[in-house]
Amino acid sequence: MIADEASLARLMAASQKGDAAAYRVLLAEIRLWLERYFRRRVAPAQLDDLVQEVLLAVHAKRASWDPGRAFLPWLAAIARYRWVDHLRRVYRKAEDELGDHDAIEDSDEEAVMARMSLERLFVHLSAGQCEAIELVKIEGLSIAEASARTGQSESLVKVNIHRGLKKLSALVEKAD
């Protein structure tokens, strides 16, 4: 069970004051939250690396959370930023399988979580961009394979990936 917004905010506030015990609990909770958050949009083999990257980012930028504001939208913004960065750099190995356990668990915060989800970002991409990014950057197909699968030319696949990632990076704080 991942801690709720209020508990996480309390832990973060204590961590900003230097409470190492609270910080250890907070990081463990954040790790669980991130594993669930990234599950569908990152290849399983790369999930740990990405979670670690975000944990390091949280550590380096912990002063940028304002205790007067909600914690999870801050964490989600950092997670999305690192995720887009990750998509730019990493290709998934072909043998990796995407999990089908991405559904957000029922909770009082489900609506809030839905607004912060990675899925919400894809709504803003064109169908071609979405398809190209999913096939090449997440499922790990080559440009040629994605081209054959989608019917897009190889150049178009590249253009769609480039423009799609650029658009995603501009949407990091977008909630709707």
Residue 104, interface with other proteins (CB under 8 A)? no
DSSP calls for 85-143: HHHHH----TT----S--PPPP-TTHHHHHHHSSHHHHTTS-HHHHHHIIIIIIS---H
Residue 93, interface with other proteins (CB under 8 A)? no
Q: Residue 59 corresponds to which tokens in the numbers above?
A: 């550590």
**Is the separation of the CB atoms in 125 and 168 below 8 Å?**
yes
Residue 144 C-beta: closest distance to other proteins, Å: 31
**Is the separation of the CB atoms in 118 and 171 below 8 Å?**
no
Residue 150 C-beta: closest distance to other proteins, Å: 29
Residue 130, interface with other proteins (CB under 8 A)? no
Contact with other proteins (CB under 8 A) among 8, 11, 42, 76: 76
Kindly state the helix (H) or strand (E) to which residue 83 belongs, with its residue range: helix 72-89
Return the closest-CA partner of residue 40 out of 129, 128, 104, 105.
104
Q: Residue 114 corresponds to which tokens in the numbers above?
A: 């839905």
Contact with other proteins (CB under 8 A) among 97, 105, 114, 115: 115
In the complex with other proteins, the residue whose CB is nearer, 24 or 93, is 24
Residue 61, interface with other proteins (CB under 8 A)? yes
Residue 38, interface with other proteins (CB under 8 A)? no
Residue 135, interface with other proteins (CB under 8 A)? no
Name the site residues for other proteins (rule: CB under 8 A).
15-21, 23-24, 27-28, 31, 35, 47-48, 51-52, 55-57, 59-70, 73-74, 76-78, 80-81, 115-116, 169-170, 172-175
